Amino acid sequence: MLVPKFLVGCATFAQWAAPDKEPEFPDPAAFGQVEAEFWNSFHKGNYDKIPELIDRYQELYVKNPYHAKAAVRLGFLHVWRLTEWQRAQDFKPGFIDHATLCRTYFHEATEMIPDDARYYGFYAACEMAEADIHKNERNLRKGYFDMLEAVKDWPQFNGFTAGFVLSKLPHTHERYDEGVDFQWTVIDECVGEKVDRQKLDYRKYFSQIDLSGVNRVCDNSAIAPHNFEGFFLNMGDMLVKQGRVKQAKMVYRQATYHKDYPKWPFKKVLEKRIEDAEKNVSFFRKEVQPPKKPDWPVIMFHSEFACGACHRAS
Protein backbone atom coordinates (compact mmCIF):
# COMPACT_ATOMS: atom_id res chain seq x y z
CA MET A 1 0.00 0.00 0.00
CA LEU A 2 1.33 3.40 -1.00
CA VAL A 3 1.50 6.02 1.76
CA PRO A 4 0.46 9.52 0.67
CA LYS A 5 3.40 11.91 0.51
CA PHE A 6 1.73 14.42 2.84
CA LEU A 7 1.51 11.73 5.54
CA VAL A 8 5.20 10.98 5.18
CA GLY A 9 5.91 14.68 5.55
CA CYS A 10 3.69 14.91 8.63
CA ALA A 11 5.44 11.96 10.24
CA THR A 12 8.86 13.49 9.60
CA PHE A 13 7.78 16.85 10.99
CA ALA A 14 6.16 15.25 14.04
CA GLN A 15 9.40 13.43 14.85
CA TRP A 16 11.50 16.54 14.26
CA ALA A 17 9.24 18.63 16.50
CA ALA A 18 9.26 16.16 19.39
CA PRO A 19 10.87 17.51 22.57
CA ASP A 20 14.37 16.39 23.47
CA LYS A 21 14.74 13.77 26.17
CA GLU A 22 16.26 15.76 29.00
CA PRO A 23 18.31 13.97 31.69
CA GLU A 24 17.34 13.82 35.33
CA PHE A 25 19.42 12.53 38.22
CA PRO A 26 17.03 11.65 41.05
CA ASP A 27 17.70 9.54 44.14
CA PRO A 28 21.39 10.43 44.51
CA ALA A 29 21.68 8.23 47.61
CA ALA A 30 20.24 5.14 45.90
CA PHE A 31 22.35 5.76 42.80
CA GLY A 32 25.46 6.31 44.90
CA GLN A 33 25.01 2.96 46.63
CA VAL A 34 24.78 0.96 43.41
CA GLU A 35 27.59 3.01 41.85
CA ALA A 36 29.92 2.10 44.69
CA GLU A 37 29.07 -1.56 44.20
CA PHE A 38 29.54 -1.29 40.43
CA TRP A 39 33.03 0.22 40.63
CA ASN A 40 34.09 -2.17 43.36
CA SER A 41 32.94 -5.13 41.24
CA PHE A 42 34.36 -3.77 37.98
CA HIS A 43 37.79 -3.02 39.41
CA LYS A 44 37.94 -6.44 41.05
CA GLY A 45 36.74 -8.16 37.88
CA ASN A 46 33.69 -9.68 39.62
CA TYR A 47 32.00 -10.75 36.39
CA ASP A 48 29.38 -12.85 38.20
CA LYS A 49 27.98 -9.71 39.84
CA ILE A 50 26.78 -8.33 36.50
CA PRO A 51 23.20 -9.74 36.57
CA GLU A 52 22.61 -8.34 40.06
CA LEU A 53 24.00 -4.94 39.07
CA ILE A 54 21.85 -4.86 35.95
CA ASP A 55 18.77 -5.49 38.09
CA ARG A 56 19.67 -2.68 40.47
CA TYR A 57 20.31 -0.11 37.74
CA GLN A 58 17.17 -1.21 35.89
CA GLU A 59 15.17 -0.59 39.04
CA LEU A 60 16.37 3.01 38.99
CA TYR A 61 15.75 3.34 35.25
CA VAL A 62 12.25 1.87 35.34
CA LYS A 63 11.32 4.36 38.04
CA ASN A 64 12.69 7.18 35.91
CA PRO A 65 13.60 6.64 32.22
CA TYR A 66 15.27 10.08 32.29
CA HIS A 67 18.00 8.76 34.58
CA ALA A 68 20.84 9.24 32.10
CA LYS A 69 23.58 7.90 34.34
CA ALA A 70 21.64 4.68 34.99
CA ALA A 71 21.29 4.27 31.20
CA VAL A 72 25.04 4.74 30.75
CA ARG A 73 25.86 2.17 33.38
CA LEU A 74 23.40 -0.37 31.96
CA GLY A 75 25.08 0.05 28.59
CA PHE A 76 28.49 -0.60 30.15
CA LEU A 77 27.26 -3.68 32.01
CA HIS A 78 25.84 -5.25 28.86
CA VAL A 79 29.11 -4.51 27.04
CA TRP A 80 31.09 -6.16 29.84
CA ARG A 81 28.77 -9.17 29.94
CA LEU A 82 29.03 -9.69 26.17
CA THR A 83 32.73 -8.91 25.72
CA GLU A 84 34.07 -11.24 28.41
CA TRP A 85 31.62 -14.02 27.48
CA GLN A 86 34.26 -16.69 28.06
CA ARG A 87 33.92 -16.07 31.80
CA ALA A 88 30.22 -16.96 31.83
CA GLN A 89 29.40 -20.19 33.61
CA ASP A 90 26.44 -20.87 31.33
CA PHE A 91 26.80 -19.27 27.90
CA LYS A 92 23.38 -19.45 26.26
CA PRO A 93 22.15 -18.26 22.83
CA GLY A 94 20.35 -15.40 24.58
CA PHE A 95 23.76 -13.82 25.18
CA ILE A 96 23.44 -12.11 21.82
CA ASP A 97 20.75 -9.88 23.31
CA HIS A 98 23.42 -8.05 25.30
CA ALA A 99 24.48 -6.39 22.03
CA THR A 100 20.94 -5.11 21.45
CA LEU A 101 20.58 -3.93 25.01
CA CYS A 102 23.93 -2.12 25.10
CA ARG A 103 22.98 -0.34 21.87
CA THR A 104 19.58 0.59 23.31
CA TYR A 105 20.90 2.02 26.57
CA PHE A 106 23.79 3.91 24.96
CA HIS A 107 21.34 5.34 22.43
CA GLU A 108 19.25 6.68 25.31
CA ALA A 109 22.41 8.01 26.95
CA THR A 110 23.45 9.87 23.80
CA GLU A 111 19.96 11.37 23.54
CA MET A 112 20.23 12.77 27.06
CA ILE A 113 23.97 13.55 27.14
CA PRO A 114 24.75 14.36 23.48
CA ASP A 115 27.98 16.23 24.18
CA ASP A 116 29.88 13.24 25.63
CA ALA A 117 31.57 11.54 22.67
CA ARG A 118 32.49 8.49 24.76
CA TYR A 119 28.89 7.36 24.86
CA TYR A 120 28.46 7.87 21.12
CA GLY A 121 31.55 5.72 20.55
CA PHE A 122 30.15 2.94 22.71
CA TYR A 123 26.80 3.29 20.97
CA ALA A 124 28.47 2.85 17.58
CA ALA A 125 30.43 -0.16 18.84
CA CYS A 126 27.23 -1.80 20.07
CA GLU A 127 25.53 -0.96 16.76
CA MET A 128 28.28 -2.80 14.92
CA ALA A 129 28.22 -5.76 17.30
CA GLU A 130 24.47 -6.16 16.97
CA ALA A 131 24.52 -5.78 13.19
CA ASP A 132 27.33 -8.34 12.93
CA ILE A 133 25.32 -10.85 14.97
CA HIS A 134 22.29 -10.39 12.71
CA LYS A 135 24.41 -10.12 9.54
CA ASN A 136 22.66 -6.86 8.71
CA GLU A 137 25.05 -5.12 6.36
CA ARG A 138 23.11 -1.85 6.23
CA ASN A 139 23.18 -1.43 10.00
CA LEU A 140 26.81 -2.55 10.13
CA ARG A 141 27.75 0.23 7.74
CA LYS A 142 25.71 2.75 9.73
CA GLY A 143 27.53 1.70 12.90
CA TYR A 144 30.87 2.04 11.16
CA PHE A 145 30.18 5.58 9.98
CA ASP A 146 28.78 6.50 13.38
CA MET A 147 32.08 5.26 14.82
CA LEU A 148 34.04 7.47 12.43
CA GLU A 149 32.07 10.45 13.72
CA ALA A 150 32.84 9.43 17.29
CA VAL A 151 36.55 9.17 16.50
CA LYS A 152 36.47 12.62 14.94
CA ASP A 153 34.83 14.05 18.07
CA TRP A 154 37.29 12.47 20.54
CA PRO A 155 40.16 10.61 18.83
CA GLN A 156 42.11 9.97 22.05
CA PHE A 157 39.24 7.90 23.42
CA ASN A 158 37.22 6.62 20.48
CA GLY A 159 40.26 5.83 18.38
CA PHE A 160 40.92 2.99 20.80
CA THR A 161 37.26 1.94 20.82
CA ALA A 162 37.18 1.84 17.02
CA GLY A 163 40.41 -0.14 16.73
CA PHE A 164 39.34 -2.55 19.46
CA VAL A 165 36.09 -3.35 17.65
CA LEU A 166 37.81 -3.73 14.28
CA SER A 167 40.45 -6.04 15.78
CA LYS A 168 38.01 -8.96 15.56
CA LEU A 169 37.98 -8.77 11.77
CA PRO A 170 40.15 -11.13 9.68
CA HIS A 171 43.62 -9.65 9.25
CA THR A 172 43.03 -9.59 5.49
CA HIS A 173 39.96 -7.36 5.80
CA GLU A 174 40.45 -3.83 4.49
CA ARG A 175 39.13 -2.35 7.73
CA TYR A 176 41.59 -4.27 9.90
CA ASP A 177 44.55 -2.10 8.87
CA GLU A 178 42.38 0.93 9.55
CA GLY A 179 41.84 -0.35 13.09
CA VAL A 180 45.61 -0.45 13.63
CA ASP A 181 45.92 3.06 12.20
CA PHE A 182 43.37 4.25 14.75
CA GLN A 183 45.71 3.05 17.51
CA TRP A 184 48.60 5.04 16.10
CA THR A 185 46.28 8.05 15.87
CA VAL A 186 45.51 7.74 19.58
CA ILE A 187 49.22 7.92 20.40
CA ASP A 188 49.81 10.83 18.01
CA GLU A 189 46.90 12.79 19.49
CA CYS A 190 48.02 12.11 23.05
CA VAL A 191 51.65 13.16 22.58
CA GLY A 192 50.93 15.99 20.15
CA GLU A 193 53.06 14.76 17.25
CA LYS A 194 53.33 11.89 14.80
CA VAL A 195 55.47 9.27 16.53
CA ASP A 196 58.05 7.05 14.85
CA ARG A 197 56.21 3.85 13.93
CA GLN A 198 59.41 1.80 14.02
CA LYS A 199 61.28 3.33 16.97
CA LEU A 200 58.59 4.33 19.43
CA ASP A 201 59.80 5.11 22.95
CA TYR A 202 57.00 6.56 25.04
CA ARG A 203 59.27 7.30 28.00
CA LYS A 204 60.25 10.66 26.55
CA TYR A 205 56.62 11.76 26.51
CA PHE A 206 55.57 11.01 30.09
CA SER A 207 56.70 14.37 31.44
CA GLN A 208 55.53 16.33 28.40
CA ILE A 209 51.87 15.37 28.04
CA ASP A 210 49.15 17.66 29.33
CA LEU A 211 46.67 15.21 30.82
CA SER A 212 43.82 17.68 31.22
CA GLY A 213 40.73 17.92 29.04
CA VAL A 214 40.46 15.37 26.25
CA ASN A 215 43.96 14.10 27.04
CA ARG A 216 42.87 12.84 30.45
CA VAL A 217 42.26 9.44 28.83
CA CYS A 218 45.89 9.18 27.73
CA ASP A 219 47.05 7.76 31.05
CA ASN A 220 45.83 5.63 33.93
CA SER A 221 42.98 6.94 36.04
CA ALA A 222 40.60 6.04 38.83
CA ILE A 223 38.18 4.71 36.21
CA ALA A 224 40.78 2.72 34.28
CA PRO A 225 43.69 2.01 36.68
CA HIS A 226 45.76 0.37 33.93
CA ASN A 227 44.45 2.08 30.82
CA PHE A 228 47.98 2.68 29.52
CA GLU A 229 49.14 -0.93 29.85
CA GLY A 230 45.89 -2.32 28.44
CA PHE A 231 46.08 -0.04 25.43
CA PHE A 232 49.53 -1.28 24.44
CA LEU A 233 48.61 -4.90 25.11
CA ASN A 234 45.71 -4.62 22.68
CA MET A 235 47.73 -2.71 20.10
CA GLY A 236 50.54 -5.25 20.27
CA ASP A 237 48.03 -8.05 19.73
CA MET A 238 46.65 -6.28 16.67
CA LEU A 239 50.13 -5.92 15.18
CA VAL A 240 50.93 -9.59 15.85
CA LYS A 241 47.74 -10.54 14.02
CA GLN A 242 48.98 -8.44 11.09
CA GLY A 243 52.25 -10.40 11.16
CA ARG A 244 54.31 -7.35 12.22
CA VAL A 245 56.09 -9.20 15.00
CA LYS A 246 59.08 -6.89 15.50
CA GLN A 247 56.86 -3.82 15.64
CA ALA A 248 54.45 -5.61 17.98
CA LYS A 249 57.21 -6.42 20.48
CA MET A 250 58.25 -2.77 20.46
CA VAL A 251 54.66 -1.72 21.16
CA TYR A 252 54.18 -4.32 23.91
CA ARG A 253 57.28 -2.99 25.66
CA GLN A 254 55.77 0.49 25.99
CA ALA A 255 53.46 -0.90 28.68
CA THR A 256 56.47 -1.90 30.78
CA TYR A 257 57.65 1.72 30.95
CA HIS A 258 54.72 2.95 33.02
CA LYS A 259 55.23 3.42 36.75
CA ASP A 260 52.09 1.34 37.44
CA TYR A 261 53.26 -1.65 35.40
CA PRO A 262 54.67 -3.61 38.39
CA LYS A 263 51.18 -3.58 39.94
CA TRP A 264 49.31 -4.55 36.75
CA PRO A 265 47.44 -7.86 37.16
CA PHE A 266 48.18 -8.81 33.53
CA LYS A 267 51.89 -8.09 33.29
CA LYS A 268 52.65 -11.82 33.01
CA VAL A 269 50.24 -12.01 30.08
CA LEU A 270 52.11 -9.26 28.27
CA GLU A 271 55.51 -10.80 28.99
CA LYS A 272 54.25 -14.10 27.58
CA ARG A 273 52.97 -12.23 24.54
CA ILE A 274 56.45 -10.87 23.84
CA GLU A 275 57.99 -14.32 24.28
CA ASP A 276 55.45 -16.04 22.01
CA ALA A 277 54.84 -13.30 19.45
CA GLU A 278 56.00 -15.33 16.45
CA LYS A 279 53.84 -18.32 17.40
CA ASN A 280 50.83 -16.16 18.14
CA VAL A 281 50.54 -14.84 14.58
CA SER A 282 48.69 -17.97 13.46
CA PHE A 283 46.76 -18.31 16.73
CA PHE A 284 45.47 -14.74 16.65
CA ARG A 285 44.24 -15.25 13.10
CA LYS A 286 42.07 -18.25 14.00
CA GLU A 287 38.35 -17.61 14.05
CA VAL A 288 36.62 -17.55 17.43
CA GLN A 289 33.03 -18.76 17.39
CA PRO A 290 31.00 -18.58 20.62
CA PRO A 291 29.87 -20.58 22.49
CA LYS A 292 32.96 -22.74 21.87
CA LYS A 293 35.72 -21.38 24.05
CA PRO A 294 39.09 -21.24 22.28
CA ASP A 295 41.85 -23.42 23.71
CA TRP A 296 44.58 -21.37 22.04
CA PRO A 297 45.92 -17.83 22.68
CA VAL A 298 43.54 -15.15 21.39
CA ILE A 299 43.76 -11.41 20.88
CA MET A 300 42.66 -9.18 23.73
CA PHE A 301 39.25 -8.56 22.13
CA HIS A 302 38.38 -12.26 22.44
CA SER A 303 40.02 -12.78 25.83
CA GLU A 304 38.67 -13.15 29.34
CA PHE A 305 40.31 -9.80 30.17
CA ALA A 306 38.96 -7.76 27.27
CA CYS A 307 37.66 -5.16 29.72
CA GLY A 308 39.81 -6.11 32.70
CA ALA A 309 43.15 -5.38 31.04
CA CYS A 310 42.46 -1.67 31.45
CA HIS A 311 39.97 -1.64 34.32
CA ARG A 312 41.10 -4.34 36.72
CA ALA A 313 42.78 -2.71 39.69
CA SER A 314 45.98 -4.00 41.24
pLDDT in tens, 219-234: 999 999 999 999 999 9
For position 243, what pLDDT does the model report? 98
176/146 same-domain check: no
Question: Three-state SS for 170?
Answer: coil
Residue 147 belongs to domain with CATH number:
1.25.40.10
Chain-wide mean pLDDT for the chain? 94
Decide if 4 is inside a domain: no
Please tell me whether residues 130 and 191 are part of one structural domain: no
Q: Tens of pLDDT along 23-41?
A: 877 778 999 999 999 999 9
Q: In angstroms, rounded to a whole number, what is the distance separating the alpha carbons of residues 224 and 263?
A: 13
pLDDT at 12: 56
Helix (H) or strand (E) holding 151: helix 137-153
Tell me: do 194 and 263 sit in the same domain. Answer: yes
Domain assignment present for 243: yes
Q: Is residue 44 one of the residues assigned to a domain?
A: yes
Considering the domain boundaries, does residue 312 fall inside one?
yes
| Distance set, CA 69 to CA 213, 216, 311 (Å) | 21, 20, 19
Based on the domain organization, do 254 and 314 belong to the same domain? yes
Residue 196 and residue 112 share a domain: no
Return d(Cα 108, Cα 103) in angstroms, integer. Answer: 9
Residues 136 and 42 grouped into a single domain: yes
Confidence at residue 170, expressed as pLDDT on a 0 to 100 scale = 97
- The whole-number pLDDT of residue 28 equals 87
- Average pLDDT in the 47-65 region? 97
Answer whether residue 280 shows pLDDT above 80: yes
Number of domains present in the structure of the chain: 2
Last residue of a domain, one of 153, 187, 209: 153
Both 145 and 272 in one domain: the answer is: no
pLDDT tens for each residue of 115-135? 999 999 999 999 999 999 999
User: Does one domain contain both 36 and 107?
Assistant: yes
Residues 6+ apart with CB under 8 A from 87: 47, 304
If asked whether residues 185 and 80 sit together in one domain, one would say: no
The H helix count followed by the E strand count for the chain is 14, 0
Same domain, 54 and 137: yes
In a domain? residue 216? yes
Residues contacting 108, CB < 8 A, separation 6+: 21, 65, 68, 71
Domain that holds residue 300: 171-286+294-314
How many other CB atoms are there within 10 angstroms of residue 124's CB atom? Answer: 27
Model pLDDT for residues 149-173, shown as the tens digit of each residue: 999 999 999 999 999 999 999 999 9
**How does residue 48 score in pLDDT terms, banded at 50, 70 and 90?**
very high
162 in any annotated domain: no
Predicted structure pTM score: 0.93
